[in-house]
Amino acid sequence: MTMLFSPYSLGPLELSNRITIAPMCQYSAVDGLATDWHMIHLGSLALSGAALITLEATAVVPEGRISPNDLGLWSDAHADALAPVLAAMRRHSPIKIGIQLSHAGRKASTNVPWDGGAQIGPDAANGWQTEGPSAVPHTEGDAAPLALDAAGLARVRDSFVAAARRAHALGFDAIELHGAHGYLLHQFLSPLANHRTDAYGGSLENRMRYPLEVFAAVRAAVPSMTLGMRISATDWVDGGWDLEQSVRLAQELERIGCDFIHVSSGGVSTAQKIPVEPGYQIGFAERIKRDTGLPTIGVGLITEARHAEAILQAGQADVIALARAMLYDPRWPWHAAAELGAQVSAPPQYWRSQPHEFKTLFDTTHPGKG
């Protein structure tokens, strides 16, 4: 059996293979509520043969949305909108389902990418005042965020907890806290965004304090769930957050009950210079895995089955995350299994589609239905 199609466990969550679909913003919600787009988009990917899918960055408060069209989970109404989407996925697929809980911090209140992605000012009808660790805008010309005070820190932390409880009640299999890509928790970690002089700024210990407090509070609220964090291992800017600090953070997260680290990079500064190439972030996952023993999810321009297999064989990561490659080819796991001589789960309605030369591709002993 190939490693890519071997089982693996992230904490209490047992995966049938090591392919996960990474969170990908869809900017298709209405007032944070899931729509029919989520039904068809997530439904399609649920039939892919991947072991796990994690829903897009889901805001824990309205002002934590990246755009006005972001998904949210800050009320019971938002949970109710997601419930039929999850129910449909469960009826027709054995895929495990996670959710990424997020707060965009100073990078909130922006247009959707296909409308340019620029910040929407707080005085605009569809914009709002952003908040962050410090009153430092993300880019020149942006409105400065409000620096969170003690009450604001508690409010945001409690909102993560409330959203996590809703996710648990909905039956999600895993929660990933978004501590990457320049959003709020990453902003606290990076000295490029965090200019505080109190207990939450300055030293590495202080900059890690708030993300760790949020994680610990969520862990206490959902003690039986698989819970991890996505991090940016480096800011790709001199003087910013880097791999050595990421190792320290991962060690602290492991100590307070983290089940996995999803290792990405960048996003906090427009000065970043990223040497993009296939697997360009895998070395970061490898280092964190080696120095902490935490299960790592590796991501970053991984598009070929043999490349994914090689990463696992070399011990550089434990699970492979795919994002844009899955949008381009929603049956990527099928094609990878065919190439590597493995089997994959597929719905029985699709069994007759397997090519003659791959007549054992689908596992017909376990119908692809939850």
Q: Which H or E run includes 98?
A: strand 96-102
**CA proximity to 73, closest of 58, 87, 84:** 58
Residue 95 within a domain = yes
pLDDT tens by residue, 73-92: 999 999 999 999 999 999 99
Residue 366 within a domain = no
Q: How many domains does the chain contain in total?
A: 1
Q: Which domain holds residue 36?
A: 8-358
Residue 2 within a domain = no
- What average pLDDT does range 318-322 have in this prediction? 98
- What average pLDDT does range 52-66 have in this prediction? 98
Residue 175 within a domain = yes
pLDDT tens by residue, 41-53: 999 999 999 999 9
pLDDT tens by residue, 104-161: 999 999 999 999 999 999 999 999 999 999 999 999 999 999 999 999 999 999 999 9
Residue 48 within a domain = yes
Residue 367 within a domain = no
pTM: 0.96
Residue 365 within a domain = no
Percent of the chain at pLDDT exceeding 70: 99
Q: State the residue for tokens 């410090």.
A: 134
Q: Is the pLDDT of residue 368 over 70?
A: no
Determine the pLDDT at residue 370.
40
How far is Cα 93 from Cα 51, in angstroms, rounded to an integer? 10
Where in the sequence numbering do the catalytic residues fall?
Answer: 183
The confidence band for 1, taking pLDDT boundaries of 50, 70 and 90, is confident
How far is Cα 352 from Cα 370, in angstroms, rounded to an integer? 20
Evaluate whether 281 touches 264 at the Cβ level (below 8 Å).
yes
Looking up residue 335, the CATH number of its domain turns out to be 3.20.20.70
Q: Which two tokens stand for residue 279?
A: 């697997």
Percent of the chain at pLDDT exceeding 90: 96
Residue 368 within a domain = no
